[in-house]
Chain A
Amino acid sequence: MQTLVEVKNLKKSYGLKEAVKGISFKIKDNEILGLLGPNGSGKTTTIGMMLGLLKPSDGEIIIDGKKIEENRIEILKKINFISPYIELPKKLSVRQNLIVYGKLYSVSDIKRRIEYLSEKLRLGDLLNKITGELSSGQKNRVSLAKALINEPKVLLLDEPTASLDPEIGDFVRTFLENYKKEKKISILLASHNMNEVTRLCKLTLMMKDGIIIDSGSPEELINKHGRKNLEEVFLKLTRSNNESN
């Protein structure tokens, strides 16, 4: 397997506050890496730096063999992102949104790509609907289609199934598993849904206060900490550190 993402000693400070304090990790192709941590642990800051939205204070991010700080536009063509905290223009139809983003990512055959994604994500009936009028589950699938419009090699997911009902949540997880296998892409999954992480990720990183406090497969972490599931491991790690602080 080939390493698609390499993060080396990554740091980010806002004035005196250190949000990320020198983290390192790798993601190989056909791999989903889970990024866990309580709110304010540095997950979003890490993703922001990987997307080029934030300039690291130190360290480097290498995606598909190139450093993002020196090749931002080139790398952005190969990655994409989904988060419930960002949305697509509400007044445009689903098809119009996908056409716009197809153009922004210089997709060569947008019509064919939209047909492919609408079939895979069950968007057929939604393409001509106004994006703002869709349900949360429908919006989520449309955002996923936008995130895959450029056939990214690296997909960054921030809470991809937050606020979805179990059926749609399961559909999205199954889709992501199959898509990763089919396209051999790398996925970074930041989530508070421990069942989701246990199901999708072979390797997880536990972050707190800007550092990685533990890592391993969900099974390894469960066994290592003598807990029943990943949620209990998460609670143990975050609470024990709080107590020691």
Chain B
Amino acid sequence: MSLIRIYGLFLRHFFLITRSFPRILDLIYWPSIQITLWGFISNFFASHSSYYNNAVGVILTCAILYDFLFRTSIGFNMLFLEEIWSRNFTNLFIAPMKISEIITSLVFTALIRALIGLIPAIILTSPLFGISILDLGIYLFFLFLSLYIFGITLGILVSSGLLRFGPSFENIAWSTMFLLAPFGCIYYPIETLPEIFQKIAYSLPLVYVFEEARNILINNSVNLENLYSALKLNVVYLTLAIILFYYSFSEARKKGTLINIGE
């Protein structure tokens, strides 16, 4: 692993972000809009629902957590798609970069991108709605970590598809998070789902993260079992995603996708 090459690829995307104000605005705009929208929805529920009457912050906190997951996953995919759109893909894959270096660099850059969007959104919630996500305490770090790993995992899975199938896989990149969201139990308890869906939900780390966020905020207690379950599942899925990425790269070399992908 070469830190210089990892830093080099990071610089490629960092320069791109800093050169373009609309890109920075885009990173900040959507999370802020999302949080504002859900803030108002939370307020509505607070005054009309007994369930959320004393927990206005629950929905808003979960919206912030979900948005972080969404930004991380889409961010990773965007970095990959950016190379295809700019027809720079071939240049990248003929540079002496190991697959591990490419993944590491994109993982790091995706984190920076997600944080650029997340920090203003968190700051916005306090003056607008009097809610601070920091109420989750030290466990907030573990919840973010789980979501970050899962977001990266989805990003690697979609990028594997892009490697193997080319730009035609692009639409999947945009829809992954929307497809998984219902099973994540982001805004409602898992009991809301039909039994068969509950089984699917329990096989994803998301449900443990959001159940635990609600548990901390509503019951003021911590169930470490949820955090462990999320972490264990994340390790399994991330390992599988990395293996799939290597496999897709090998298949792309056999099928010729790498040579045609930018055209």
Contacts and interface: CB of A to CB of B under 8 A. Distances in A.
B256 A104 contact: no
Given A86-B88, A103-B8, A76 B96 contact: yes
A53 B93 contact: yes
Contact of A91 (B4, B16, B259): B16
A23 interface: no
Contacts of A48: 256, 258-259
A71 B8 CA distance: 22
Nearest to B256: A54
Interface of B: 2, 4-5, 7-9, 11-12, 15-16, 19-20, 82, 86-98, 250, 253-256, 258-259, 262-263
Contacts of A106: 2, 4-5, 96
Contacts of A55: 250, 253-254
B254 A104 contact: no
Contacts of B97: 73, 104
| A-side interface mostly | mixed
Nearest to B92: A104
Contact of B20 (A52, A86, A91, A96): A91
Interface in A50-78: 51-55, 73-74, 76-77
Contacts of B91: 81, 86, 88, 101, 146
Contact of B87 (A45, A85, A96, A146): A85
A99 B95 CA distance: 13
Closest 4 CB pairs of A and B: A103-B8, A76-B96, A104-B95, A55-B253
A102 interface: yes
B7 A96 contact: no
Contacts, number: 104
Contacts of A101: 8, 91, 95
Contacts of B9: 100, 103-104
Contact of A92 (B4, B16, B98): B16
Given A14-B255, A48-B259, A106-B5, A92 B94 contact: no
Contact of A85 (B4, B93, B253, B263): B263
A124 interface: no
A45 B11 CA distance: 31
A90 interface: yes
Contact of B12 (A44, A54, A74, A89): A89
B253 A92 contact: no
Nearest to A147: B91
Given A81-B94, A88-B88, A96-B11, 9 more contacts: A53-B90, A87-B87, A88-B86, A96-B15, A99-B11, A103-B11, A104-B9, A104-B95, A106-B4
Contact of B262 (A77, A86, A102, A130): A86
Contacts of B93: 53
B88 A53 contact: no
A80 interface: yes
Nearest to A53: B258
A101 B12 CA distance: 9
A52 B252 CA distance: 11
Contact of A90 (B7, B86, B254): B86
Contacts of A90: 86
13 contacts: A48-B259, A53-B258, A54-B254, A54-B256, A73-B97, A74-B96, A76-B94, A85-B262, A88-B86, A89-B88, A92-B12, A103-B8, A130-B19
Contacts of A87: 86-88
A147 B259 CA distance: 17
A79 B94 CA distance: 9
Nearest to B23: A91
A89 B86 contact: yes
A77 B95 CA distance: 7
Contacts of B11: 96, 99-100, 103
A86 B90 contact: yes
Interface string A80-120: 11010111111111001001111111100000000000000
A223 B56 CA distance: 88
Contact of B94 (A51, A91, A93, A99): A51
